[in-house]
Amino acid sequence: MMPKRKIQPEIITNDIISIPEIQKKNLSGIPVYLINAGDQDIVKVDFIFNVGKTDCDNPLIPETVSSLIDKGTKKLTSGEISENLDFYGAYFETESGKHFTVITLYTLNKYFEQTFKIVNDFLFNAIFPEKETDIFLKNRFQTFLINRQKPDIISSEVFAQSLFGENHPYGRSVKKEDFNDINRENILEFYKSGYSSANLQIMFTGKITDKHVKLADKFLNEIKNGNTLKKEHDKFRLKQISARKKIIEMPGTVQSSLRIGKITVNKTHPDFFNLNIATVILGGYFGSRLMTNIREDKGYTYGIYASGISLPEAGYLVISAESGKNVYKKAIEEIYKELKKLRSEPVAHDELTRVKRWIFGSTVKVFDGPLSVSEAYKSLIFGNLSADYFHRYLNAVKNITPEMILETAQKYFDEDTLTEVVAGA
């Protein structure tokens, strides 16, 4: 049957999108999530520790722990860990975030026992050898120095400091003096306080069998129970900080890096869905207003984006772009023009329809394959969100109107409330 190309396809709704359910268990006192899906004989295991960079006054320490956790145990050296995982065709990766640290193992089903045992060993019995620690910190310091010359790094750090304050957990970044305040002792202290079964959740994704679950339970039962890491929520309390404009001159650079935004709301707030949709219209996809105007029409940048960032204790809007030094002021002018237009004029029906299709299509992609599904469910854990989050979001997309977007833009896109940072001016 030939497709009818003159008839507009129907917009996909959340009634059509299939969102797989997740099975929950408890193994040796540890919350476990099972996503049994996929045709390939592989298993992905996410070890999710409720500990991150905001749990330490020196953000370099959590980063160092996650980077060096596989560098040796009492049983295996760093080389043996690497060689054994490679022999079984497995590999792992680490992600050190603000509130969570994730160690992810990818392994073949038939070697699940051997590889899970190795990872389980270095997760809970790491020794952080002096030599590997010194090498890592020397290399990390060189990277730090190089990053001081990159406008995009500087603008992002100064932007966070300007929004939240330099001493707020979300405004803090690695500083030169942090390298003088790190040693093997405080690395081990942080590791022992955070990397325990009391602060752990695990997600299994792929072709999971009862045998895999029983083997995991066996190894997890051998872990010594630690104490639950105490979270200091008071330190995340937001102070009233006025909108700021900061220009950081960086002689020798050829580009300027722009960051414009403000503190808004996170995914738990009732305004988040509408704000996120308005942000997509502004700069959230390739056909957005900022991209069409500032990249396609004016040629001031190769790319410009607007994002709504949701963190457990706050949310914020950020517009980011890199432009030539001679045109960054013009780019900023156009950004404010697009913000004003969203505050002043209802979005046209055709544009809103296009954005809805893009959001639905992007959400379908999120659930395309078991590994992608696991990333979506991890985002629920990170945001402390209910299982129906994606259904509620798609329902909001389906029902939003131009008037609702106009009202949202008037509430959150006032340029007088925006902080502006330019690095490399």
DSSP one-letter string for 255-267: EEEEEEEEE---T
**Boundary (domain end) residue, out of 234, 266, 300:** 234
| Closest by CA position to 283, among listed 302, 308, 309 | 308
Contact 304, 283 (CB under 8 A): yes
The whole-number pLDDT of residue 298 equals 94
Total number of domains constituting the chain: 2
pLDDT (0 to 100) of residue 236: 87
- Residue after which a domain boundary falls, among 216, 234, 252: 234
pLDDT of residue 19: 74
Please indicate, yes or no, whether residues 321 and 285 belong to a single structural domain of this protein: yes
Co-location of 224 and 268 in the same domain: no
Asked if residue 15 is part of any domain, the answer here is no
Which amino acid is located at 18 in the chain? Answer: S
Q: How many residues make up the chain in this entry?
A: 425
**424 CB neighbour count, 10 Å cutoff:** 26
Q: 58 is in which domain, residue-wise?
A: 23-234
Query: For 351, left (φ over 0), alpha (ψ -120 to 50), or beta?
Result: alpha
Q: Is residue 4 part of a domain?
A: no
**Pair 179, 30 in one domain:** yes
pTM across the whole model? 0.90
Band (302; pLDDT cuts 50, 70, 90): very high
**What integer best gives the mean pLDDT of the chain?**
92
Domain assignment of residue 12, yes or no: no
Cα Rg for the chain, rounded, in angstroms? 24
- If asked whether residues 223 and 254 sit together in one domain, one would say no
d(CA 78, CA 67): 12
Q: What is the pLDDT of residues 325-345, one digit of tens each?
A: 999 999 999 999 999 999 999
The arithmetic mean of pLDDT across residues 76-96, rounded, is 96
Would 30 be classed as within a structural domain? yes
> How many other C-beta atoms lie within 10 A of the C-beta of residue 223?
18
What percentage of the chain reaches a pLDDT higher than 70? Answer: 95
Q: What is the pLDDT of residue 387?
A: 86
Same domain, yes or no: 71 and 113:
yes
pLDDT category of residue 20 using cuts at 50, 70 and 90: confident
Specify the range with the lowest mean pLDDT, choosing from 66-75, 106-115, 222-231: 222-231
Predicted confidence at residue 366, as pLDDT, reads: 85
Which one, of 300, 60, 43, lies nearest residue 187 by Cα?
Answer: 60
Q: Are the beta carbons of 412 and 404 closer than 8 angstroms?
A: no
| Domain containing residue 402: CATH number | 3.30.830.10
Stretch 1-28: mean pLDDT, rounded?
Answer: 71
Mean pLDDT (whole number) for 385-392: 90
Domain co-membership, 147 together with 287:
no
- Bridge partners (DSSP) of residue 322 are 257
Q: Which of 48-57, 98-107, 232-241, 247-256 has the lowest mean pLDDT?
A: 232-241
Which tokens go with 210?
């009862």
Ordered alpha helix ranges (H), 197-271: 210-220
8 inside domain: no
Per-residue confidence band for 351, with pLDDT thresholds at 50, 70 and 90: very high
- Residue 8 pLDDT: 66
pLDDT above 70 (res 14):
no
Confidence at residue 241, expressed as pLDDT on a 0 to 100 scale: 80
pLDDT at 237 over 80: yes
- CA pair distance 92, 104, nearest whole angstrom: 5
Q: Where is average pLDDT lowest: 232-241, 248-257, 270-279?
A: 232-241
Instruction: Pinpoint the alpha helices (H) of 345-413.
Output: 349-366, 370-383, 389-399, 402-412
**How far apart, in whole angstroms, are the C-alpha atoms of residue 283 and residue 319?**
8
Asked if 249 contacts 222 with a C-beta cutoff of 8 angstroms, the reply is no
Q: One-letter amino acid identity for 425?
A: A
Query: Is 319 within a domain?
Result: yes
User: How large is the average pLDDT for residues 92-109?
Assistant: 95
Tokens of 22: 């997740």
Q: How many CA atoms lie within 13 A of 222 on its CB side?
A: 11
Whether residue 14 lies inside any domain: the answer is: no
pLDDT at 7: 73
> Do residue 227 and residue 259 come from a single domain?
no
Contact 188, 56 (CB under 8 A): no
Same domain, 327 and 416: yes
How many CA atoms lie less than 13 Å away from 245 in the CB half-sphere? 6
Q: Do residues 161 and 309 both lie within one domain?
A: no
Question: Are residues 263 and 147 part of one domain?
Answer: no
Quickly state the pLDDT bin for 240 (edges 50, 70, 90): confident
Q: Are strands 245-248 and 419-423 parallel, antiparallel or unpaired?
A: parallel
Alpha helical stretches, state H, 221-316 = 272-283, 289-290
Please tell me which residue, 231 or 400, carries the higher pLDDT value. 400
The residue that leads in pLDDT, 330 or 243, is: 330
Do 64 and 88 fall into the same domain?
yes
Q: Of the candidates 210, 234, 258, which is a domain's last residue? A: 234
- The reply to whether 17 falls in a domain is no
What is the distance between the alpha carbons of residues 147 and 373, in angstroms, rounded to a whole number?
Answer: 34
Q: Are residues 376 and 418 in the same domain?
A: yes
Q: Give me the pLDDT at residue 39, please.
A: 84
